[in-house]
Structure formats: C-alpha cells, structure tokens
Structure 1
Amino acid sequence: MIDFRNEDCMIGMARYPDKYFDLAIVDPPYYSGPERRNYYGQKVSKTGVFRSYNPSTRQWTVPDKTYFNELIRVSKHYIIWGCNYFDYPFQCGRIIWDKCNGKSTFSDAEIAATDLSRTVRLFPFMWNGMMQGKSIEEGRVAQGNKKLNEIRIHPTQKPVALYEWLLTKFAEPGWRIIDTHVGSGSSLIACSRMGYEATGFEIDIQYYLSAAKRIEEDERNNSTNQIDGQISIWDYEEII
C-alpha cells in the first residue's frame, strides 16, 4: 500500500506516534535554486536531457534541526541523502552513490547518512544525462536502449534502481517506509514494486501530480510485482 499526500511533511509527521515507521529514506533539499525556472540553463542539456521538469514552483525550504528531530522521532532507522550539507549529529554509517558521470560538472557522487551500518557502502549506478545504468548489477554499464531510460520529471530525481538497492540492502520484509520529500516518486515506485508499505509527502502540487501519475503508470506496467496493487492518492488542497 502506497499512501502519497500533497502535504507539508512536518504537518504529516505530527500525526504519527514515536517510531511508527521502520525506515525513513529521504532526500531533503540542501539549498534553494533548482526549483526556479531555467536554473540549469537551456531546455535541453549538453547530455541530451530535456528539462521538461523545470516549471517555476514554490521556493524550496532547507530543513533545520527541527525537521531531523521529528524525522528521527517517527522513524526507527534512517537513510538521509545530502547529509554532508547539514549540521546535524547523524550516526557514522555512510552510503555513497557513485553516479559514474565522467566529466560532468555535477557531483561525482552523493552521500547518505544511516544508522543501519557503521561502515561505508558503495552503489555505482550511471546517471549522466541520457546515459543511465543498465541495471543494479551492471550499474557502470550504460543502458543500450534509451527508450528504457527513466523520464526525468524533477531536477534532483534519483533512479528507481538506487531505492531498490537500498531496500534490498537495508530494509526487512514488512517494514513501513516513509519519504518526506518524494519529488519524482522514485522511492515510492521502488516500494510498490517490492511490496513495502510506504507513506510519502510532497508539498509542491506540480511535482505531486507529476509523481502521482508516474507511480500509477508504473503500477499498471508492473502489476505482477505488486502485493495488492493499491495506491492512495489524496485529493490536494494547495498549501499557501
């Protein structure tokens, strides 16, 4: 069951008791900018990606300690992307996503903090414009058929394969998952495919509707992978 809401995550998390979720997998914004129109320049990147995901949306709010305290209150464990940008006493475990992006001007890797390990784990998966990894097992190899590439609908979108690997590596069957900043919907797609109960929040209505459509389309295309095939998309009230 996927419960996806167009809501401020701080309001949403306040409804849940302590440690209700088994695992938080979150990717909060660590600076404001990508949400602004034409932030990345031309509509088509140098690597051939059409930036149709870049409407002008509400300004991103960088979370403070209040957010992290609340996230840890409702979650038994966490995986928090962008941990290197936040001043918060995360546990020592780290997950590195190597984007295998060659000479790209973007970061070579992204870092997550986790309390599920005391070591550093590496996941290589190509994510450089039209060059996307072939599979979890062959993440350094580019997908040959570009028609199989994930369509980008969000400026900081992460691949579904990354979340599938995280769930395989760190989660246990039956765990409840929470994502406070759903964005493109990749995390919820992975949870749906793998049969995890998940709750997600997305405050921006444009991204919410785009992600909801993407999640529903993936469920239709991968119906044999579902436990119950149910997704709860809540009617929105635009948040002022």
Structure 2
Amino acid sequence: MLELNQCYNMDCMKGMAQFPDGFFDLAVVDPPYFSGPERRGYYGSKVSKIGVYRDYPVSPVWEIPGRAYFDELRRVAKHYIVWGCNYFSYEFASGRIVWDKCKKGTSFSDCELAATDLFNTVRLFRFMWNGMLQGKSVAEGHIMQGNKKLNEQRIHPTQKPVALYDWIFQNYAAPGCRVLDTHLGSGSSRIAAYEAGVDFIGFEIDPIYYAAEEQRFLDYTSQTSLFHLT
C-alpha cells in the first residue's frame, strides 16, 4: 500500500486499487469534465507587470472519468466532495457546495458546484478568483487581495485556490483524517492539507503538472519552515 502524506505521478485508478474499502475519511476531487486545454497549446498565457502568471503546457493524458472512476472513489472513501458534479452523468448524493468566484461580467461561470454526501443541504463559499483578481483570505474572500505580488501563481488551467481547500478542511476534516485527491493538478489541496494536519495522498498522471506541483509544495514548505523558526 502507498504511504500517506505523499503524492504520486500515476494513474489514480491504479493508485486507488491499492487501498481497502473505506480507507479514506474524505475524498476531495476535481476531475476533468471537459476536453480542450490539451489541444490548444499554451492555455491563456499572459504577461503582466509582475511577470508571466499563466503558462500551462499541453497535457496528453487529459481524460474525462466515467462511472468506473466514481464507483472506485466511493469504494475507497467514506465521504466525498466532487467538483464539477453538474457535468457528470452519475448519481451523486444531494448535498452541494457552491464556490462563488465573485467574477460577474465575464464569459466564464460565476460559480462552481461540488456534490457531497457530507450533508443534504447547500453550502456557499465566496472567494474571488479571476486572473489577477484574487481574494484576501478565507474570511474575506469577496475582497480583492490588494498586493497582487502575493497572489497564488497559476500553474494549471483548472487551478483552484488554496483558500477553498482551507475552508473545506476547516469545516469537514479534522487533524489526522485521511484525505484523498485523485487529480492533484496544481497541488492547492496538498498545501491546505499540510496546514490542516490531515493525512493526505494525491495522484497526478501528467508528469509535467506533477513536477510543477512538487516544486510548488517544496517552495511552500521551505518558506513556512523558515517562518516557523523565526
């Protein structure tokens, strides 16, 4: 069985197969629900006054998961939060989380939806996420971060903010819980898991995104270690 608090460059189906039923307390996943970035080359690259903030490589393994994936996810995890649930043909539980990106007036979605079996109601989290416009914190996500140099660097076309996962783990996971992310992407979930003290495993099949996530996590933990020592 794979070790906890590690991330792996491998197919998540092969990874999940190594764990017994109900091993994870919670799966928080953001599987791809559309095909496109891998065919358009560098997706949304832009240069600003503080440098390049979007530079996404082509992924040759961008595959939309089917029923077998969700069945396996429910086998290994006692509970789940699945982003993009409205795009999949699958019988999810009735609970919903709405992430309000505070970005009205664009051609992109104002919100993203997640299905969950943690509750049967609807919960709302507001955090600005529109290019260089990013929220200040979990508590003040609707207010723009004033110093854009402190923004999260965007390294993945469907990257989600660390603050979103901070909020999830603060509300729905306790220290020591075992958490799974099958599509690690930029590694935002891993950073939040590190801060929340949960036992985490992540899978990322694309070697380029995996390497970028590993470097991002190394940079983050190196900085926080120095901060904690001062």
| TM above 0.5 | yes
| Cα distance in 2, alignment partners of residues 204 and 74 from structure 1 | 22
2:222 alignment counterpart: 220
- Quote how far apart the aligned CAs of 1:57 are: 1.8
- Quote how far apart the aligned CAs of 1:99 are: 0.2
| Cα distance in 2, alignment partners of residues 53 and 211 from structure 1 | 14
Which of these residues, 197, 200, 214, is aligned with residue 198 of structure 1?
200
Q: How does 1:8-27 map to 2 (within 5 A)?
A: 8-27=11-30
Aligned identity (percent) is 56
1:155 alignment counterpart: 157
Instruction: Kindly indicate whether the alpha-carbon contact (under 8 Å) linking 1:125 and 1:139 is maintained by their aligned counterparts in 2.
Output: yes
Q: Per-residue displacement from partner, 1:105-131 (whole Å, max 9, x unpaired)?
A: 111000000000110000000001100
**1:78 equivalent in alignment to 2:80:** yes
Greater relative contact order, per chain length (Cα 8 Å cut-off, separation 6+): 1
Kindly report structure 1 stretches of 4+ aligned residues shifted beyond 2 Å.
35-41, 48-53, 223-226
| Cα distance in 2, alignment partners of residues 61 and 212 from structure 1 | 22
Q: Per-residue displacement from partner, 1:148-174 (whole Å, max 9, x unpaired)?
A: 100000000000000000001111232
Q: How does 1:1-240 map to 2 (within 5 A)?
A: 2-38=5-41, 40=43, 43-44=45-46, 50=52, 52-223=54-225
SS in 2 for 1:21: coil
| Cα distance in 2, alignment partners of residues 67 and 117 from structure 1 | 22
How many residue pairs end up in the alignment? 224
Q: Per-residue displacement from partner, 1:7-44 (whole Å, max 9, x unpaired)?
A: 00000000000000000000000011123344645x32
Structure 1's unaligned 5+ residue stretches are 227-240
Structure 2's unaligned 5+ residue stretches are none
TM-score normalised per structure 1: 0.88
TM-score normalised per structure 2: 0.92
SS in 1 for 2:38: coil
RMSD: 2.0
| Cα distance in 2, alignment partners of residues 167 and 190 from structure 1 | 8
SS in 1 for 2:104: coil
| Cα distance in 1, alignment partners of residues 153 and 65 from structure 2 | 27
| Cα distance in 1, alignment partners of residues 94 and 118 from structure 2 | 9
